[in-house]
Structure 1
Amino acid sequence: MAKINPFKAVRPTRDKVSLVASRSYQSYTQDELEARLDYNPFSFLHIINPGYKYHQDITGKERYTLVKNRYLEFKEDGIFVQDEKPAYYIYKIVNREGFAFSGIVAAASAEDYRNDIIKKHEDTIEFRERIFKDYLKTVGFNAEPVLLTYPDNHVIGLIIEQIQSERAEFEFTTTYRDTHYLWKLEDPKLVKSIKDEFEKMDTLYIADGHHRSASSCLLADDLKSENKNHTGKEPYNFFMSYLIPESHLKIYEFNRLVKDLNGLSKEAFLIKLDAVFRIENRGSELYKPTNKHHFSMYLDGDFYSLYLRKSNYSFNTALDALDTQILYKTVLEPILGISDLRNDTRIEYSFGRNDLVNIKDKVDEGFFKVGFGLVPITIEEMKAIADEGLTMPPKSTFIEPKLRSGVTIYEF
């Protein structure tokens, strides 16, 4: 029984939202970041990069305190205003390809995460969880929702359609040519209908935001221990999420680039691959795999198709059948000597609609020796791994939609 609650969001005013909204901080190059900070005084980047005001890098607790100060200044200046009533926020993104994502920004339960009602499919790193928990505890707000997905639901879908027939509170287009829309849903009957439908669901799945979820759970534990009058209803018991139906989730593959062949010659490497794959040289053809357990490889100016020899590989769990795991267990670890996928500097990851061209260019330029292309993982595979309590190798999925920070803010 999933607890998904409305909340009183802090939001930019309608005239400022397009200026406030920002991508994830890590996605900007240094030049992009400086340009936005120089020429847009309303960008949310000023809040999360408070040292820019003093022309220096500030880290740790000092930075957290300054983030809180910048945030309070935005509220004092009327750039941010908190809604008076709890609401669900219907959020729609139409990307430049015309694909539409529609969902609900709401407060999800930390207890549900702890009790595995909200399930994960990726491992988290403990020190990163604790760093972000300390950050949240100091600043007192969260501006980037966790992406959760749920089975397509007819009742919720009809309510979303009904609300979207009205004029949106926010409508803005980014320089990426994605158009964002937001509607506020306060009607008590519709709020109850949505809440009741989520309560009927046994499981929700994290699509993106595993560290944010884990950190929010740690924060809830911390603040609960410090509050003698804890009731379980306090805002810190929940974390902001964007919930979208499974049919709206878009999953892209993460491809792999490796810097060397682990001391092997090209010929010796291909002979070792032949033990587990049927190999065909495709020459200069940009070969992109279309079936599970098929891979593309670019090596020494040629593309190859690799088809798994299933007679030599065992499928015992949902993880065993995952292509990123297959590549790891058959090639990256035993042949190329890469056991630590998170920290080994010999491997890098890339994604994109034209990523095979990117792989070819990087190998041709000598930055990498070999590249591998994969088929995107499906929502069914992601759920099966979460249901079995397993976790995917790092960089198994690149998932859309990606929301902008600062459009809705959750205070606790």
Structure 2
Amino acid sequence: MAVLRAFRAVRPRAELAERVAALPYDVYTSEEARTEVSGRPLSFLNIDRPETQLPPGAGIYSDDAYEKARELFQKERREGVFLQEERPVLYLYEETVVSGGLFPLMPFHSQTGIVGLSAVDDYLFGRIRRHENTRREKEEDRVRHIRACKAQTGPIFLCFRESEELRLLFSEWKKRSPLFDFVSEDGIRHRVYRLDREEEIRAAEEAFSHIERSYIADGHHRAASAVRVSEELRREQPDYSGREEFNFFLSVLFPEEELRILPYNRLLRDLSGMDEAAFLRALSPFFSLERSEKGAVLPASRGDFGLFLPGGWYQLSAREELRGRDPVHSLDVSFLQDFVFDGILGIKDPGVSKRLRFVGGIRGAGELEEAVKSGEMAAAFTLFPTSMEELLCVADAELLMPPKSTWFEPKLRSGLFIHDISGKEEA
């Protein structure tokens, strides 16, 4: 059974929610983050990426950065930007694409999840499944951020298999007036509904007790970091009861059928000394290739890929007889990694290689073309997105996908819900 727990959330005052809400810290480079917070003193990105408040050149992972995060968070709590709920609550969080502007691949989409706490023990004992590996240095960053702020500031994006019981509850609970209701600059409408009645909380907790397991859709590093902090605090407090706040982490749980994955494309810095013609010849044992005369190739089905070289676009189709049969090696991202990046180019670990750059499908083909035309990169690959069913199959098999296999949209906003882990245990 999955644990869902209500909590005394720290949240912005309703009239400030739009100004506070920010995209997750890890979708920006340091330079992009500095630009994003310019003129936006209440954006939560100031706290999530505290190096933006230090002089240029200050270390992203410096002691000063984490101290600045703590200082800013405490200051905004004192000044009333954030308040804490008087009693444990849950929330529904609905995101709806109302403008196609930044979302040409999904002109209309809506998803509703429930905001609460998930149990660290559910993660440790496999009742919360993951599908990607994590990097220690990225975990360490969020560990230090959580310890500095004494709070989990970014929700983990979880999903669960279809539940008619929860679908009906969500539908009923959204009939009330929202606590937050605003449209962000990227054309996403964010509506948040507070669930503060005891019978509602009991109904939600009971419904989740019928869910066998949940899955991390996005936020593997945030989840791993929250769990590491919990384990550290358990060692520091060996007589812990299990009910303390640090035994739980902030999450938003969505029904998997409402989620959408966009492509996660690849930019390649070099061709291992090959020219364009030689590289195309090297690809031919693994793909059928055809020059595209119609511009950018955005794959429309599994097994299809686009390739952009200085000479133009190519349509690639995987030779299916070569595809692996297990849940991981049957993925398109694995086919590309196994036969091209590793097999041809010798890139063994794509997660750390400086020869690869990953570009979320929301950015479009223009950015890929520009990177190659400028000479910064040698080639670009476009992919068909991984499906939710593929993700769940990998997680159910307790396997891991290659890095950067999924790009979820819309992203959850940070700063709307914060879990203070410094408090005493709840009854």
TM-score range, shorter chain: over 0.9
Tell me if 1:77 matches 2:87. Answer: no
1:293 aligns with 2:303: yes
Q: 2:69, 2:145 within 8 Å by CA — same for their partners in 1?
A: no
Q: Which residue of 1 aligns with 2:21?
A: 21
Is the alpha carbon distance of 1:52 and 1:393 closer, same or farther for their aligned partners in structure 2, counting shifts above 3 Å? closer
What is the TM-score with the length of structure 1 in the denominator?
Answer: 0.93
Q: 1:3 to 1:24 in 2, by over 3 A?
A: same
Tell me the amino acid that sits aligned with residue 411 of structure 2.
Answer: K
1:374 to 376, 383, 390: 383
Who is 2:424 aligned against? Answer: none
Cα pair distance change 1:143/1:304, threshold 3 Å? same
CA shift digits 1:319-339 (9 cap, x unpaired): 110001101111111212322
SS in 2 for 1:4: coil
For structure 1, which runs of at least 5 residues remain unmatched after alignment?
none
Matches of 1:149 and 1:50 in 2, distance apart? Answer: 29
Secondary structure (helix, strand or coil) at the match of 1:328 reads helix
Secondary structure of the 1:84 match is coil
Residue 157 of structure 1 aligns to a residue whose secondary structure is: helix
Within 2, Cα distance between the matches of 1:310 and 1:374?
Answer: 15
CA 328–129 in structure 1, closer or farther in 2 if over 3 Å, else same: same
Q: Distance in 1 between matches of 2:308 and 2:217?
A: 30
Q: Within 5 A, what are the aligned runs for 1:8-407?
A: 8-28=8-28, 33-34=33-34, 37=37, 39-48=39-48, 55=55, 57=58, 59-95=61-97, 96=99, 97-311=107-321, 313-353=322-362, 355-407=364-416
Q: 1:32 to 1:354 in 2, by over 3 A?
A: closer
What are the superposed Cα offsets for residues 283-304 of structure 1, whole Å, 9 maximum, x if unpaired?
3443322221221222342322
The CA distance in 1 between the partners of 2:11 and 2:180, in whole Å, is 10
Name the structure 1 match of 2:103: none
Instruction: Look up the equivalent residue of 2:397 and give its one-letter code.
Output: E
Partner Cα separation in structure 1 for residue 278 and residue 66 of structure 2:
53
| Matches of 2:215 and 2:53, distance apart in 1 | 39
Q: Shift of residue 360 of structure 1?
A: 2.8
Partners of 1:239 and 1:141 in 2: CA distance: 10
More displaced 10-residue stretch of structure 1: 276-285 or 220-229: 276-285
Structure 1 residues 395 and 190 mapped into 2: Cα distance closer, same or farther (>3 Å)?
same
Alignment size in residue pairs = 411
Hey, what's the Cα distance between the residues in 2 that align with 1:145 and 1:38?
24
1:18 to partner: Cα distance: 1.5
Cα deviation digits, residues 339-368 of structure 1 (max 9, x gap): 221222222222335623332333233332
After TM superposition, the structure 1 stretch with the greater mean CA deviation from structure 2, 365-374 or 226-235, is 365-374
| TM-aligned CA distance change 1:349 to 1:310, over 3 Å | same
> Kindly tell me: are residues 407 and 295 of structure 1, through their superposed partners in 2, closer, same or farther at Cα, counting changes over 3 Å?
same
Which sits farther off after the overlay, 323-332 or 56-65? 56-65
- Which stretch shows the higher mean deviation, 67-76 or 42-51? 42-51
Write out per-residue CA displacement over residues 263-297 of structure 1, whole angstroms, 9 at most, x where no aligned residue.
22333322222212222222344332222122122
Q: 8 Å contact 2:263–2:407 — kept in the other structure? A: yes
Partner AA of 1:4 in structure 2: L
Which deviates further from its counterpart, 37-46 or 385-394?
37-46
Deviations 1:240-259 (A, max 9, x none): 00111112211011111212
Question: How far apart in 2 are the matches of 1:251 and 1:37?
Answer: 27
| Mapped partners of 1:104, 1:45: distance in 2 | 23
TM-score, normalised via structure 2 length: 0.89
Q: Take 2:375 and 2:120, find their aligned partners in 1: how far apart are those partners?
A: 47
In structure 2, the residue corresponding to 1:211 is in which secondary structure?
helix
User: What is the alpha-carbon distance in structure 1 between the residues aligned to residue 332 and residue 37 of structure 2?
Assistant: 41
Cα deviations across residues 125-161 of structure 1 (Å, max 9, x unaligned)? Answer: 1233233223312321112100000112112112211
- Asked if the contact 1:362–1:368 (Cα under 8 Å) also holds between the matched residues in 2, the reply is yes
Structure 1: which amino acid aligns with 2:290?
E
Deviation (angstroms), 1:37: 4.8
Preserved CA contact (<8 Å) 2:267 2:379: yes
* Residue of structure 1 equivalent to 2:104: none
What is the alpha-carbon distance in structure 2 between the residues aligned to residue 73 and residue 392 of structure 1?
41
CA distance in 1, matches of 2:171, 2:354: 47
